[in-house]
Amino acid sequence: MSKTFNRDALSGLIVFLIALPLCLGIAQASHVSPFAGILAGVIGGVVVGKLSGSALSVSGPAAGLIAIVVTALAAMPFQYFLCAVMLAGAFQLLAGILGVGGMADYIPSNVIEGMLAGIGITIVVNQAENAVGFDKQAFLDEEEAGFAWTDLDEIVEHMEPGAMLISLLGLALLTLWSCRRFKRLQWFPVGLLVVLAGVLVNQMLGLVRPGWALRGDAHLIRLPVPTTVAEFFAQFTLPDFSGLALPQVWVTGAIIAVVASVETLLCIEATDKLDPQKRVTPTNVELRAQGVGNLLSGLLGGLPITSVIVRSSANINAGARTKLSTIFHGLLLLACVATIPQWLNFVPKAALAAILIFTGYRLARPQIFLSLWKADRWNQFTPFIVTVVSVVFLDLLRGVAIGLLVSIFFILRQNARLPYYYQRSSFTNNELIKLTLAQEVSFLNKASIKQTLDELPRNSAVVIDASNTAYIDFDVLEVIRDFAHSRAGERGIKLSLVGFQEHYNVPQVSTERELVSGLAGMHGEAPKRSAGLAQDLLRQLRKK
Q: Among 314, 294, 273, which residue's Cα sits nearest to residue 51?
A: 294
Mean pLDDT score across all residues of the chain: 81
pLDDT of residue 142: 43
**Residues across the chain:** 544
Could you tell me which residues come within 8 angstroms of residue 413 by beta carbon, excluding any fewer than 6 positions away? none
Buried b (16+ CB within 10 A) or exposed e, 497-517: bbebeeebebeebbeeeebbb
**pLDDT above 60 for 542:** no
**Complete DSSP assignment for 105-123:** GGS-HHHHHHHHHHHHHHH
Residue 519: pLDDT band (50, 70, 90) is low
SS (H, E, C) 122-176: HHHHHHHHHHCCCCHHHHCCCCCCCCCHHHHHHHHHCCCHHHHHHHHHHHHHHHH
> What is the chain's Cα-based Rg?
32
**Complete DSSP assignment for 217-265:** TTTB------SSHHHHHTT-----GGGGG-HHHHHHHHHHHHHHHHHHH
The DSSP symbol for 348 reads B
pLDDT of residue 291: 96
Query: Cα–Cα–Cα angle for 40, 69, 62, nearest 5°?
Result: 45
pLDDT of residue 97: 92
Distance of CA 230 to the CA centre of its chain: 41
Select the highest-mean-pLDDT range: 22-36, 260-274, 407-421, 447-461. Answer: 22-36
pLDDT of residue 532: 54
Indicate the helix (H) or strand (E) that contains 533. helix 527-543
The beta-strand segments (E) located in 223-371 are 306-307
Decide if 334 contacts 46 (C-beta within 8 A): yes
Angstrom distance (rounded) from CA 318 to CA 385 = 35
Start-to-end C-alpha separation, the chain = 62
What's the mean pLDDT in 348-364? 84
Q: Quick one: 54 exposed, middle or buried, by C-beta within 10 A (0-12, 13-18, 19+)?
A: buried
This prediction has a pTM of 0.66
Angstrom distance (rounded) from CA 458 to CA 201 = 84
Q: Among 504, 506, 507, 508, which residue's Cα sits nearest to residue 518?
A: 508
**pLDDT above 70 for 154:** no
What's the mean pLDDT in 338-351? 84
39-48, 231-240, 299-308: which has the minimum mean pLDDT? Answer: 231-240
